[in-house]
Amino acid sequence: MKYLLTSLLLLTFNLFGGDANFDMKWDKVPSSYVEGAILGNGEQGTMIWARPEESLHFDIGDTRIYDEGGRLPIGKFILETKSQRESFQMTLAMQTAEAQGAVKTSLGAVKFKAISVSGQNLNLVKFTLAGDEQISIKHFAIPGITTSKLRNGIKDISGAPTHTISDYSNPKWAQGIAKTVEKYKPGAEVLNDSNGVQSRLVPLKKGKAYSLTWQLKKLSEKKYLLAWRTDYTRENLKAKAQKVWAGKNAQALSQSLEKSYEDYFVDHAKWWKNYSQRSNISLPDKKLEAYYKWQLYKVASATRQGKLPIDLMGPWFRATNWPKIWANLNVQLTYLPMAVANQGSIGDTLFQFIDNNPQIFIQPAGKYKSDSATHARAISPYEPGGFSWEYGNFLWTLHNYWHFLRVYPDDKRTVEKFYPMLKRGINFVLHHCRTDEQGFIHTPKDISPEYEMNRVFPKEEDTTYNLEFLRWALRTAVHINHKFQLNDADGERYEKVVEKLVQPHLDKETGIMIANGVKLEKAHRHYSHLVGLYPLKQMRLDEPNKFALAKKSVDYWINLPILNNWSYKGYSRTGAASMYSMLGDGDEAYKQMQILLDTYGSANTMYIESGPVIETPISAAASIHEMLFQAWSHDFNKDHIKLFTGIPKAWKDVSFKDLKAEGGYTLSALRENGAVKSFQIKASTERFLIVNPGLSQAFSLQSSVRGEIKSLQEKGQHILKLKSKAGETLTYGDSSELGKSVLGNKGESSYHFGLN
């Protein structure tokens, strides 16, 4: 019966959206971090690939496991076969988050299927043997030492630059790891084997520990099941108590294996089906569509409701100098697309973390912590760091929070959680501001993120980055104070401050400057000086002079000579695509996305600079949202939705369903033969709304509560103005067509990442 249920479930997936067509496929073995198959359940995960000397291996990852302020590597399980690998094939199913494959050898074959089980601390790989092949599983253990110490230790012995040290299981790094263990003398690990259940207890600093528990269970003559779990404790446990704790973890694994792989798969696949159906897009560029959908797959693999915010790697660990939650653009870009993609529970993980751990943000404010908050450029989820520079970083994080609350309106949370933390973020910056003789307020001397000249980061007053984030924060606090009639003296004070805050500095030739006295003179991968345009959307693009300034600034920034591979990065292209979408230049937006895929794309859509930086490909999902529709307004009390203003002229057919927009709306739309054919807007609150669908003639739509509503003409455009009602649905055209798939420009219906 369980097999019948599984088959029916898979059939159902193909009936709803056909996303199986976007599965990743391999016909040769992946050999690196940017090629392997990725599985994750929001906390634990694995990547499947192989070193040259291996048949295959399964990396072990757990986002919780930290020591000395950074993530720890764990190791991997190596599949050992009796004979040499001859060929390989593998598929990663998008809608079931299951990898299936086969290693063909000279003696037969080893078929496998693997999942990181949703809702469970459990990872499973089922093996089926053919011919005379035999298998065993070897655990490669990485000592409980921080990745920075391991990398530096290897560098000291080998002389290799740290950025070239990517895989700790590489045999040429073994001596460096051994010397690092001798130097730092980590606590002695405790290994145990009881009835085939093996465990590895790794003591860490201050009584912390993690355990890895696994078993290769023989199911029949030709079938085996590899199962593992990881556990982590931050309690200050003595050695004896740690052993008891590890023993309980081993018992938990044994109990979990009372159910079969197939039993777990049914609930696991059901979760992924429900997740994937919350929204959908369909583009004529199927490679870009596939790229988008795999980003949503990644975020659900990397975090879940109640879990930690996504760091730079998710559960797929790789040697890195960035082993925590980076927050000077990184986590901010990661969390941009999730709310709009209708994945509220996952998109909220960062903001729940802020709500539940205020001291992580209050303590870095130092002597100002009584009324202030900020965060370091890199955050440990367990202990506060120290502030160094880039005052705008924390305000950017809070802007993400505000965007989430605009998409999922929650007045109580806005007043009780967000507003107090926003005030703290504002106050921290204001404590460091200067008021000049004319009464104008200047932000403190600071660098502008990532901008350097001759290897020197200019440190000046009034970086546009700090000014624009502070201006947004002040305006938002003033709005909240007025809207909810809080009568807050701070809110009234902020109103006076925003009037006196200096404007960004401008240059006639280059547009918006980096800071006072610092204009953009060389390629700049970060768009720190353009944040007023994006993501803050504070520039009045309806004013011709402001539009011209924005366009000049973006054109100049993204087209400077490329001096080296650090001049621009992948996130430069996603940022530029979002900006050009705001400017209504869909062709240029699409060009930037094509550069992203052509220059920075990989087999599995993972992305690496000196180490993994997961936010860049994920930010591409936000850029695609911006291409499909714009939903923002300078007036806090009004919403303005524009459809398809950022798509290229070549895209005649485009579709999206159940995306979310600021104001609490759910949007669906279909464009066919170059014109909007149908759209639907579902309102969750009462708001003043302007809709510009881009239609060339007058139109009318149906309201679920007030019947027909006719458009009006304003400045040569046919638009709709109304005050939406909670629960109201506005429909233009045939709603039954919404969500339909469109064919690719060459008639194709799919694209497969992987190695094929």
- Tell me how far apart the alpha carbons of residues 650 and 648 are, in angstroms, rounded to a whole number: 5
Residue 317 DSSP SS3: coil
131: left (phi over 0), alpha (psi -120 to 50) or beta: left
| CA–CA distance, 200 with 193 (Å, rounded to integer) | 9
Contacts of 285 (CB under 8 A, 6+ apart): 590, 651, 744, 745
Classify residue 733 as left (phi > 0), alpha (psi -120 to 50) or beta.
left
Task: Count CA atoms closer than 13 A to 88's CA, side-chain side.
Answer: 20
For residue 318, the enclosing domain spans 281-333+583-756
Are 691 and 620 in a shared domain?
A: yes
Asked whether the beta carbons of 139 and 200 are under 8 A apart, the reply is yes
Q: Same domain, yes or no, for 531 and 632?
A: no
In this prediction, residue 746 carries a pLDDT of 83
Task: Report residue 197 as tokens.
Answer: 């259940």
Single out the residue of 179, 181, 185 nearest to residue 157, CA to CA.
Answer: 179
Q: For residue 155, what is the DSSP state?
A: H
Helices (H) and strands (E) in the chain, counts: 19, 35
Grouping H, G, I as helix, E, B as strand and the rest as coil, residue 260 is coil
Structure tokens at 533: 């345009």
CATH for 62: 2.70.98.50
Looking at the fold, whether 482 and 563 belong to one and the same domain comes out as yes
- Token couple for 270: 């059901």
Residues 582-619: b if buried by 16+ CB within 10 A, e if exposed: bbebbebbbbbbbbbbeebbebbbbbbbebbbbbbbbb
Distance CA 754, CA 111 (A): 18
H-state helical runs in 223-340: 239-256, 261-276, 286-302, 330-334
Six token digits for residue 50: 């192989």
Contact 593, 605 (CB under 8 A): no
Query: For helices 489-500 and 419-430, what crossing angle results, to 10°?
Result: 50
Instruction: Answer yes or no: is 151 within a domain.
Output: no
Show the tokens assigned to 360.
């992580």
Burial of 641 from C-beta contacts in 10 A (0-12 / 13-18 / 19+)? buried
Confirm whether 65 is domain-assigned: yes
Look-up of token digits 């009796």: 82
Measured CA distances, 325 to 303, 334, 391, 660 (Å)? 13, 11, 17, 26
Nearest to 739 by CA among 273, 276, 269, 344: 276
678 half-sphere exposure, CB direction, 13 A CA radius: 15
Q: Do 147 and 611 meet the contact criterion of CB atoms below 8 Å apart?
A: no
| Strand pairing category for 687-692 and 638-643 | parallel
Domain match, 115 and 198 both = yes
Residue 574 lies in a domain: no
Q: Which of 275, 293, 314 is the last residue of a domain?
A: 275
Looking at the fold, whether 200 and 325 belong to one and the same domain comes out as no
* Residue 160, domain member (yes or no): no
- So what's the pLDDT on residue 691? 96
Residue 243 lies in a domain: yes
User: Which domain CATH number covers 629?
Assistant: 2.60.40.1180
Of 538, 568, 598, which residue sits at a domain end?
Answer: 568
Spatial neighbors of 381 by CB under 8 A, at least 6 apart, are 66, 308, 309, 324, 325, 353, 357, 360
Residue 409 lies in a domain: yes
Same domain? 209 vs 65: yes
**Listed residues 231, 256, 275: the one ending a domain:** 275
- β-partners of residue 559 are none
Residues 647 and 508 in one domain: no
Question: What digits encode the pLDDT tens for the residues 170-228?
Answer: 999 999 999 999 999 999 999 999 999 999 999 999 999 999 999 999 999 999 999 99
Interacting residues of 53 by C-beta distance below 8 A, sequence separation 6+: 171
Q: What is the pLDDT of residue 553?
A: 97
655, amino acid identity = S
Do 303 and 395 sit in the same domain of this protein? no
State which residues of the chain have pLDDT below 70: 1-20
Predicted local distance difference test score (pLDDT) of residue 146: 93
Residues sharing a CB contact under 8 Å with residue 318, sequence separation 6 or more, in sequence order:
33, 166, 167, 608, 611, 612
What domain count does the chain have? 3
Model confidence pLDDT, tens digit, residues 737-752: 999 999 888 888 889 9
CB 97 within 8 A of CB 270: no
The reply to whether 15 falls in a domain is: no
Note the pLDDT of residue 13.
34
Residues with Cβ < 8 Å from 535, sequence gap 6 or more?
332, 336, 396, 399, 403, 578
Residue 324 falls within a domain, yes or no? Answer: yes
- Which residue's structure tokens are 């400017």? 583
Backbone angles phi, psi at 66, to 5 degrees: -125, 155
Backbone angles phi, psi at 456, to 5 degrees: -120, 130
One domain, residues 324 and 432: no
Same domain (yes/no): 265, 285 = no
Residues 414 and 546 in one domain: yes
d(CA 183, CA 561): 46
Tell me: do 452 and 594 sit in the same domain: no
Residue 438 CB contacts under 8 Å (≥ 6 apart), including other chains: none
Contacts of 496 (CB under 8 A, 6+ apart): none
Edge-to-edge order in the sheet of strand 280-282: 280-282, 654-661, 665-672, 675-682, 729-732, 700-703, 707-710
* Cα R_g (the chain), whole angstroms: 27
